[in-house]
Amino acid sequence: MTKVTTINTLVLKPEHVAEYIASQREFTSAISAVPNGPLGGRLYKSIQGTKIVLVSQFDSLAAQTAVMGRPELAAQIEKLRPFVESSSPALYEEAFTYGGFR
């Protein structure tokens, strides 16, 4: 199976950046424990502070689809919606890696 990665670039309302990050940190700890959940992920915050890049990796497209259908994720999205100005998620397959990036 081919692993898939979800990369979502979000622009947050400045007054909600810290709250968004804290909520995502808590949520990812919980969702990582579910069967066929994400393998892991990273959250990046722009130096300017309001742009976030959320990267999550899954064993397969089927595993990613299953997580996207979970009620916990739908609830988390609704909870965070007021913090977000824009969001642009997309699915990717790795083409190559170089250097020490893991």
pLDDT in tens, 72-101: 999 999 999 999 999 999 999 989 989 988
Residue 32 has pLDDT above 90, yes or no: no
What is the enclosing helix (H) or strand (E) of 11? strand 4-12
Helix boundaries (H) for 1-102 = 17-31, 61-68, 71-80
Give phi and psi for 44, each to the nearest 5. Answer: -110, 140
Give phi and psi for 9, each to the nearest 5. Answer: -100, 125
Q: Mean pLDDT over residues 56-73, rounded?
A: 93
Predicted local distance difference test score (pLDDT) of residue 29? 86
**Interior angle at CA 56, CA 50 and CA 62, nearest 5:** 140
Whole-structure pTM value: 0.88
Residue 102 has pLDDT above 80, yes or no: no
